[in-house]
Chains A and B, each alone.
Chain A
């Protein structure tokens, strides 16, 4: 690729080919082939479409292709069909059989198979919604970072170019100076999407002078419950390469590294394909677009250590060492990878960069709140009806996210709290649902944006147990380099464990708070500094639950096993003995009491030997056993 003209010719050619309103191509069938889709069985569906179209002799006017994740996890495998006149039909929960039928009725017969579409089964009245963009889940979304995910073939550079791919890089190299590029990013107000929310433009402008500099992409997405980076890498890998090259131009670097989790094999495969294609097209390598700018990218695989998501630990790991963090300063902008000035951003941050360059800083800054611009991708999970990836403008309230986009908690349960930022974050209680979600509001609440995992909890979740769960994770993943984190988190977990066993005291709560603050202020890196957040946030908003555990010795949500008791209601029990047969601990016995109207004496659980597995309750056909 020597010139902008060449790129434009290619784009025009590609757009002609993929246009569906011409006579050549009537339908474009896209099968979602990200990790989630493949796990749900997308491959046989794709094959069924390819075979079905070929058998029907429709290959000349139908294109079948794979694409990334469209974000509606609970509906996988998802197939979208783009037809003439810009119609778009979203088929969900597909299998090979259904695919054959869709070929027969939709592609051949021109009829939308409504019963397989996204709106089927949930139409309260009238028309079934057949297209994803018309659903409540999608309507409020604004896709910037995910704009190509689920739309293009991630293994085709031409597809990306047809969607303005690499035009932002061309614009930078041909029209802007490196300073102007940095200035544009600064003015857009883009902040780091991986956790801290540091202004990206500032980060770029801090990169010190030196003969060798690096651009690093942090794709070590380790937060349990967050998968937006995987989705971008699997659905739109070229946009990351383009953004890294732009960052290289802006900071004067000629080499980039992507550190990606080994647990994301499809992302790794597609990144490798993308890098190869970009090199072939001369969009990576030497003299890009005929200028003096050179840039190339390498991939390094992680090996399963959460702490490597921390920027200094990540660089230590790329260098081939144990992934332990380094003290800052010196900051990576001065002394980073291999001791050279380095700019490091995460995947989602990079994914925004080309769009900012193409559409201008003002366009980006027009979205979001005063200090948090643009959009943010959230991974909705937990007790919520619509699980999946949503990209919404900053400043959307939690109520809108949970009730309108997420469809509320399933089974009519009451929303209790939303956990943000994974093991580093806190929780937002129901009372604060109308707060606008952005960096600063979350920090003011003692939470943090983190990478954007949003776990919804309902009345059945115990907040103490939740805090314990995240702390167990941090204890496992603490690298062990500094004492406050290595020993402190472990002692903290022991204290929480004591509370969930019903052995805690009120003084323990104060002790826990003091301990949390000590760990926060004395740990070396972000992992330790944020590890107590889930505990502090739950203590702040749900102190009454902690008090119930230590004073009343009760777990209000009925989760903490140590405080649970299974009880048989003697008047409901008919004495069938099924519970006793299923009890693994043989701890259910007959009593002498025969309830009025019953023939057999009722059963009773001996608390001594009970292991609280719940087998009795799930086996009782008469609803006589309850948790207390």
Chain B
């Protein structure tokens, strides 16, 4: 499956970079530990943007294309960032005909990002999902692991508000 690549500017901190450098230094003798380095890099940054892949490629002295190849092969590696609260709207048939498209529009307006995006403070990301099997509750939206059913556009604001401060 094709992976979504982040379009957000990279915002790594010097602390993160130092941490990654230490990981690379501990492993660069052994090129076969590339995956282990990438796993730790993902723990540090939460995902593997090109900038991080580049640092790994240079630090480990392997071609960037190899790092990218490994990153896209394994489903565990993420190339785009998710917010602290990942919001998704079911766009399966049942939800769609019941108006989940309007829920999505309202979410885009309330959170202020487009579908597939993430807020600047990294608090919210927004996406569509395939049928979650809760058609009886259509339309459905999901925040993290909480499922909200029988949604109306007017309910969006108050639900999102619950996640603004924690």
Contact = CB atoms under 8 A, between A and B. Distances in A.
A256 to B, nearest CB: 15
Nearest to B30: A320
A305 B77 CA distance: 11
B74 A584 contact: no
Contacts of A320: 31-35, 70
B9 interface: no
Interface stretch (A241-249, A296-304, A491-499): A296-304
Contacts of A611: 93-94, 97, 135
B27 to A, nearest CB: 10
A550 interface: no
A302 B139 CA distance: 37
Interface centre among B1, B31, B75 (most CB of A within 10 A): B75
Contacts of A304: 74-76
B106 interface: no
Interface centre among A303, A321, A614 (most CB of B within 10 A): A303
Nearest to A320: B34
Given A613-B135, A615-B135, A303 B97 contact: no
A338 interface: yes
B14 interface: no
Contact of A584 (B33, B36, B77, B95): B95
Contacts of B97: 584-586, 609, 611
B54 interface: no
B6 interface: no
Contacts, number: 74
A297 to B, nearest CB: 15
A613 B75 contact: no
B119 interface: no
Which size bracket describes the interface of B in this complex?
20 to 34
A618 B35 contact: no
Nearest to A582: B136
B138 interface: yes
Interface string A306-322: 00000000000111111
B135 A262 contact: no
A319 B32 contact: yes
A63 B74 CA distance: 43
Given A476-B1, A611-B93, A611-B97, A323 B136 contact: no
Interface centre among B33, B73, B138 (most CB of A within 10 A): B73
B136 A613 contact: yes
A584 B70 contact: no
B82 to A, nearest CB: 16
A584 B31 CA distance: 55
Nearest to B137: A615
Given A321-B70, A584-B135, A262 B39 contact: yes
A581 to B, nearest CB: 11
Contacts of A618: 136
Given A303-B74, A615-B135, A585 B35 contact: no
B138 A323 contact: no
Interface in B102-141: 135-136, 138-139
A479 interface: yes
A183 interface: no
A323 B34 contact: no
Interface in A440-497: 476, 479
Nearest to B62: A320
A615 B36 contact: no
Interface string A563-579: 00000000000000000
A320 B66 CA distance: 10
B98 interface: yes
Given A322-B73, A323-B73, A613-B94, A301 B36 contact: yes
A584 B73 contact: no
B94 A615 contact: yes
A205 interface: no
A584 B94 contact: yes
A619 interface: yes
Contact of A303 (B76, B93, B94): B76
A261 to B, nearest CB: 10
A582 B136 CA distance: 7
B77 A303 contact: yes
A299 B29 CA distance: 17
A303 B32 contact: no
Interface string A180-218: 000000000000000000000000000000000000000
A317 B98 CA distance: 45
A248 to B, nearest CB: 19
Contacts of A262: 39, 76
Given A584-B138, A613-B136, A323 B74 contact: yes
A317 B74 CA distance: 10
Interface string B129-161: 000000110110000000000000000000000
A301 B39 contact: yes
A609 to B, nearest CB: 8
Contact of B36 (A300, A322, A585, A614): A300
Given A584-B138, A611-B93, A613-B136, A305 B73 contact: yes
Nearest to B72: A322
B138 A303 contact: no
Contacts of B95: 584
A302 B39 CA distance: 10
Contacts of A584: 94-95, 97-98, 135, 138-139
Nearest to B136: A615
Contacts of B73: 305, 322-324, 479
A318 B32 contact: yes
A322 B74 CA distance: 8
B32 to A, nearest CB: 4
Nearest to B73: A322
Q: Which 5 A-B pairs have the closest CB atoms?
A: A613-B135, A303-B74, A320-B34, A584-B98, A303-B76
16 contacts: A302-B74, A303-B76, A303-B77, A304-B74, A317-B35, A318-B32, A319-B32, A320-B32, A321-B70, A323-B74, A584-B95, A585-B94, A585-B97, A586-B97, A611-B135, A613-B94
Given A302-B76, A320-B31, 10 more contacts: A320-B33, A320-B34, A320-B35, A321-B70, A476-B1, A584-B98, A584-B139, A585-B98, A609-B97, A613-B94
Interface of A: 262, 300-305, 317-324, 338, 476, 479, 582, 584-586, 609, 611, 613-615, 618-619
